[in-house]
Structure 1
Amino acid sequence: METVKLTINDKTYEAEPGKTILEVASENDIWIPTLCYDKRLDPYGGCRMCLVEVKGARQLLPSCISRINDGMVVNTESENVRRTRKGVLEYILSDHPLDCMTCEATGCCELQDVAYSMDIKGERFRSEEKRGGELHDRNKLIYRETPKCIRCGRCVRICDEVTQEHAIEFGGRGFQMWVATPFGESLLDGPCVLCGQCVSACPTGALYEKQAMGRGRPYQVKKVRSTCGYCSVGCQIDIHVDHKGINKIT
């Protein structure tokens, strides 16, 4: 099979044509931070955390949507790249609650991991805009907390592209943008089937399983691999077990 040669951080790699810079980097254990990227979804390029420097390009390029070509020279850790990524993240954090000590997602929060990797300390920017708190939805499965949403679009896109239910969408603009349901009603009143795919896609604590709240951090829960018995397909599932029994199923 024909391959493409490119250089990433002064090392030469070969990859299949049509792949993105992010895909090639991931395959070769080169970490590039992302927030809106999910391998189950079409590349989006919205969060701008995966920016890289490409020789000959007039500006930094989002690696998740930039296809490789022969002879491409990429730098994922230049001073300009690190400074720009950090600035983008600081803006994302400008209206994000800093309650990591009590957040249910601590330990599995991608935003927290990226902030730690970039040595974010304190708040460089802080928005005075407030976006409310928990959305009190009478469904018994999915907890929604608007202020923790970073508008990455992963929940909306997985609902559209994977489950194809189109149950949620963005509403509002700017700081007042949020993930909305039709007419602001409960998830129970729309096409949502409460499958939990949106929760699995969320990189923060904006979406969480209600039955798992207050029952330990994700790293404190044991995962047991099993097979779903709903139909004959036999999908693999993880049963999360704590000292009280089954915590949740993913």
Structure 2
Amino acid sequence: MAEIVKINIDGIALEVTKGTSILDAAKSVNVKIPTLCYHEDLCVAGNCRVCVVEVEGRKNLVASCAAPAEQGMVIKTTTPKVRRARTDIISLLVSEHNTQCTTCYRSTNCELQSLAAEYNVDSERYLSVLKPNIQVDKSSYSIEKDDSKCVRCQRCVRTCAELQHVNAITVAHKGRDMKISTFMELPMNEVVCVNCGQCVTHCPTGALTERRYYHEIWEAIGDPDKHVVINTAPSVRVALGEMLGYPVGTRVTGKMVTALKKIGFDSVLDTDFTADLTIIEEGHEFLQRVTKALKHKEKVALPMITSCSPGWVKFIEHMYPDHLDHLSPCKSPHQMFGALTKTFYAQKIGVDPSKIVSVAAMPCAAKKFEANRPEMKSSGYQDVDAGLTTREIGQMIKQSGLDFVNLPDSNYDSYMGESSGAAVIFGATGGVMEAALRTVYEVVTGREVPFKNLAITPVRGLEGIKEATIKLENVVPEYSFLEGAEVKVAIAHGLKNARVIMDQIKNGTSPYLFIEIMACPGGCIGGGGQPIPTNDEIRKKRIAAIYAEDEGMPIRKSHEVPEIKKIYETYLEKPLGHKSHELLHTHYKKRNRY
């Protein structure tokens, strides 16, 4: 049984488990202690000292994020000594910071700016020691790095190392020359970066941001010769409201569609349509591999792994290049959408595809890189012209002057606007697997999955690696060789968990047939392009909204969507057919580890 200690914080007596940090103890009784280097997702660093408190009997102030509560502690969080120390620390951080806050992308959502305002710090308390001529690194399609705004809290370094096991950025040099840098101080586009953007969502200032492309999209919208189409990912609709006056976890699907139409997009379509297509293609690919392996005894790459997450795809290209054959060849849904926009959709509406500007509203920074991959031109053009994050879409709506809260709801436009609840849950970790199982199980057995209300609960939740076993009984004749088989699947989110899964495959010990991997913690709802902040509490609320959206949909399975059936009948011909391979599938590239 855990040992309990008694402490006192600002006159409040409380009991906590021994080892609980002073910061967490204070949170439990609603005492706010400011922080900067601390983040719930990461290990404790204790290097900014903003969270210092006074402990009776101790000469020096202690960092509350790193100091454990001990029996009999009397802690004071707002004494003059504490306030003077915090003010000095914040002032020193401001003195080496680029304080052009009025033009900073993170203005009004910057933790240093908020602390400076709270402690009435201005830029004149100490002389500025900001180094001159610091260049912003805009080499990456996905991420901008501005060292003039870095407070050296190292949250980005810990994120890249602890959550993602990539180590694209690290601490270089010492003392006043210490900085956050890359291998050999190379530009971001030349290092092993998977473009996931988790460093961006964990950065407290504007030192790391996504590359922004909405200015170009505004220009395209204003060009009468352009036909601008946008498709919106499932995770955008459950997070966009956070930027526009709604509580976390509010679904704003209809208002989002209305806003995008009023902004001037010629057509507003749903990425969920091609998420359903992904399930049809990926599900048939999985069954094809299983048939070859178990019925025909052919050698195929199993387990098969999903390929929806471009950050994950680039991770395996760098870290496990000899195992790329395990990836499904299916493009991510938004890249499928881009290819179909400039082929199928262009034919349907009679528009020259060279005049179409295809925009993807995504929760993801890596989609920006993916859109610029040379493989993504199967339409004869760049399939997706720009990937915009949820944050960028929020900024565009603000710039448009729309009263978002009072907008009426609208439906997506037709042609690639109809979808299922299975597609919506792509946004949550486990969602792609659940959507695939809803279809694959029914194809093999002729029956719905044996879970109440189609909710395959073993694949849900925020556990880093989840497992499920589905037993196949009373199968249809075509799949008689699977009678009694137990299909073991796994779901991983966050690349540190992906590494565990891949090491099993590399060592030949993987027990699974089918695996879903998402680069970002929580899946797309926790993507690098989502509103800031993001933590587990926020992820859970967004996930709950995703599942609520699914349950409210009239169609819950990808293979039952009328528009999906129709596009195969009139255009794609059949799953895994020639046209599908041409437009919906891709190949991958072995990349260097260093």
TM score, norm. by length of structure 2: 0.38
CA shift for structure 1 position 211: 2.9
Report 1:89-238 matches (<5 A): 89-211=90-212, 219-220=243-244, 227-228=427-428, 231-232=432-433, 233=491, 235=522, 237-238=524-525
More helix by share: 2
User: Does the alignment pair 1:48 with 2:13?
Assistant: no
CA shift for structure 1 position 131: 4.8
Q: RMSD in angstroms over aligned alpha carbons?
A: 2.7
Aligned counterpart, 1:78: 79
Gaps of 5+ in 1: 241-246
Cα gap change, 1:119/1:129 in structure 2, threshold over 3 Å: closer, same or farther? closer
**Residues 21 and 65, structure 2, Cα contact 8 Å, conserved in 1:** yes
CA shift for structure 1 position 238: 4.0
Deviates further, 69-78 or 132-141? 132-141
AA at the equivalent of 2:101: C
Identity of aligned residues (%): 33
CA shift for structure 1 position 231: 4.8
Cα gap change, 1:124/1:213 in structure 2, threshold over 3 Å: closer, same or farther? farther
Aligned counterpart, 1:243: none
Cα gap change, 1:136/1:31 in structure 2, threshold over 3 Å: closer, same or farther? same
Question: Equivalents in 2 of 1:213, 1:110: separation in Å?
Answer: 24
Matched length: 242
AA at the equivalent of 1:51: V
Determine helix, strand or coil for the equivalent of 1:12. strand
AA at the equivalent of 1:90: S
Aligned counterpart, 1:6: 7
Cα gap change, 1:231/1:163 in structure 2, threshold over 3 Å: closer, same or farther? farther
Cα gap change, 1:213/1:50 in structure 2, threshold over 3 Å: closer, same or farther? farther
Gaps of 5+ in 2: 219-241, 252-424, 434-490, 492-517, 532-594
Deviates further, 114-123 or 80-89? 114-123
TM score, norm. by length of structure 1: 0.86
Aligned counterpart, 2:63: 62
AA at the equivalent of 1:106: S
Aligned counterpart, 2:369: none
Determine helix, strand or coil for the equivalent of 1:82. helix
**Residues 159 and 199, structure 2, Cα contact 8 Å, conserved in 1:** yes
CA shift for structure 1 position 146: 0.8
Question: Equivalents in 2 of 1:248, 1:151: separation in Å?
Answer: 22
Determine helix, strand or coil for the equivalent of 2:54. strand
Report 1:21-40 matches (<5 A): 21-40=22-41
AA at the equivalent of 1:139: S
Cα gap change, 1:98/1:137 in structure 2, threshold over 3 Å: closer, same or farther? closer
Bigger Rg, which one: 2
CA shift for structure 1 position 72: 0.7
Cα gap change, 1:83/1:199 in structure 2, threshold over 3 Å: closer, same or farther? same
**Residues 98 and 130, structure 2, Cα contact 8 Å, conserved in 1:** no
CA shift for structure 1 position 87: 0.7
Deviates further, 134-143 or 19-28? 134-143
